[in-house]
Amino acid sequence: MTRPLIARPRRLRTSPAMRALVRETRVNPDGLVQPLFVVPGSGVVQPIGSMPGVSRYSVDAVVRECGELDAAGVRAVLLFGIPDSAEKDAYATVNHDPNGIVQRAARAIKEALPHILVIADLCNCEYTDHGHCGILDPSGDVDNDLTLEVLAKTALTYARSGVDIVAPSDMMDGRVAAIRRALDDDGFTKTAIMSYAAKYASAFYGPFREAADSTPSFGDRRSYQMDPANVREALKEVRLDIEEGADIVMVKPAMAYLDVVRAVRETTDLPVAVYHVSGEYAMIKAAAERGWIDEERAVDETLTAIARAGADIIITYFAKDYLRRVRV
């Protein structure tokens, strides 16, 4: 009597080599982006308490850090500028200063390491004295269309400083079109736009607000960032940004929004970026420090899940450490 055949999927899990041979999803090392915080001064390397292993850097120090990132295999960085508090005003004037922090950092990085791809986050929250992402009207609400003028002006100073990609994160309506028009009219047709197309009003941004000194002095950002409950609205935002000229679209945050990442991936052929944000980073770090999880395995699993959901580009504070480990 013939014994019934038993399906044995475990045959393909018998060794590390076997598992690697049949692995369906791999994290693209060249698709990892390291965020960097740049501050005034010289020789500054200022650790961020809520983000172990992450620091703020002055321009000279950020160039040295980019040298380390380059040696580790990181090919792209995302710059956030943090001006002196005394320089902030209601109109984010210092944001579009040609000699502003991001502008100087971009020039310095490009001079020292011209092959590093420089992405500049484009928002006003770090530069306004009230901490909101746009210019306020007399009633205290964010004036969408007035903010577009500031974003376009700032994008031009970034492009003139050598930034390869501008990344508007403010969630104003029409910002991609305004920025694309300004860049093209000034001859920067090669400067790409990576839009934070679906940026949610998330609880996972807390450590970033400490790092960037950008907590709103009143209210919150839920009138312009997206409601965490909405997916169809995210696809609408993505579609609008593509129509306005975005080259890359982003979902932010990552782990609680992988369904959104998958939906966006199925909607567009454009590259999809995902921001693995500060709170997600801090949670892994905190649990690992207490011995509750294995940090390396948790990072590997997290980045794989983001890639499996459809991300081509992963912005993560783990980029340098991950690549140092997997590229040995």
Boundaries of every domain in the chain: 26-326
pLDDT above 90 as % of the chain: 79
Q: Give residue 87's pLDDT.
A: 85
C-alpha span between 131 and 88 (Å, rounded): 9
Contact by Cβ (8 Å): 69, 87: no
Closest to 151 measured CA to CA, from 182, 192, 188: 182
Residues 112-130 have a mean pLDDT of 91
Locus of tokens 């860049």? 183
Q: How confident is the model at residue 46 (pLDDT cuts 50, 70, 90)?
A: very high
Q: Kindly report the CA angle at 49 between 44 and 50, in degrees rounded to 5?
A: 130
Burial class (CB in 10 A: 0-12, 13-18, 19+), 55: middle
Torsion sign across C-alpha atoms 67, 71, 77, 83? negative
Q: From the candidates 88, 110, 236, 252, which is the catalytic residue? A: 252
Residues 165-188 have a mean pLDDT of 96
C-alpha span between 321 and 296 (Å, rounded): 9
Q: Give residue 222's pLDDT.
A: 66
Contact by Cβ (8 Å): 303, 314: yes
Average per-residue pLDDT in the chain?
A: 92
Query: Could you tell me the two tokens for 326?
Result: 């997997």
Residue 215 has pLDDT above 70, yes or no: no
Query: Could you tell me the two tokens for 111?
Result: 């001079």
Helix, strand, or coil (residue 250): strand
Residue 216 has pLDDT above 70, yes or no: no
At the top level of CATH, the class of 26-326 is: alpha beta
Lowest-confidence pick of 16-20, 90-94, 169-173 = 90-94
Contact by Cβ (8 Å): 295, 288: yes
Q: What share of the chain is helix, strand, coil (3-state, %, to 5)?
A: 45, 15, 40
C-alpha span between 81 and 102 (Å, rounded): 5
Lowest-confidence pick of 40-49, 53-62, 201-210, 289-298 = 201-210
DSSP 30-85: GGEEEEEEE-SSSS-EEE-TTSTT-EEE-HHHHHHHHHHHHHHT--EEEEEE---G
Residue type at 154 in one-letter notation: T
Residues 138-148 have a mean pLDDT of 87
C-alpha span between 55 and 44 (Å, rounded): 9
Q: From the candidates 88, 110, 190, 199, which is the catalytic residue? A: 199
Torsion region of 219: left, alpha or beta (phi above 0 gives left; psi -120 to 50 gives alpha): left
Q: Give residue 214's pLDDT.
A: 61
Q: Give residue 280's pLDDT.
A: 96
| pLDDT tens-digit map of 23-33 | 999 999 999 99
For the chain, the first-to-last Cα distance in angstroms comes to 53
State yes or no: is 320 an active-site residue. Answer: no
Q: How confident is the model at residue 217 (pLDDT cuts 50, 70, 90)?
A: low
State yes or no: is 252 an active-site residue. Answer: yes
Residue 144 has pLDDT above 80, yes or no: yes
Q: How confident is the model at residue 211 (pLDDT cuts 50, 70, 90)?
A: confident
Higher-confidence residue of 127 and 72: namely 72
Residue 129 has pLDDT above 80, yes or no: no
Q: Which pTM does this prediction carry? A: 0.94
Q: Give residue 237's pLDDT.
A: 96
Lowest-confidence pick of 129-133, 253-257, 300-304 = 129-133
Residues 176-184 have a mean pLDDT of 97
Residue 140 has pLDDT above 70, yes or no: yes
Residue type at 279 in one-letter notation: G
DSSP 271-309: -EEEEE-HHHHHHHHHHHHTTSS-HHHHHHHHHHHHHHH
Torsion region of 162: left, alpha or beta (phi above 0 gives left; psi -120 to 50 gives alpha): left
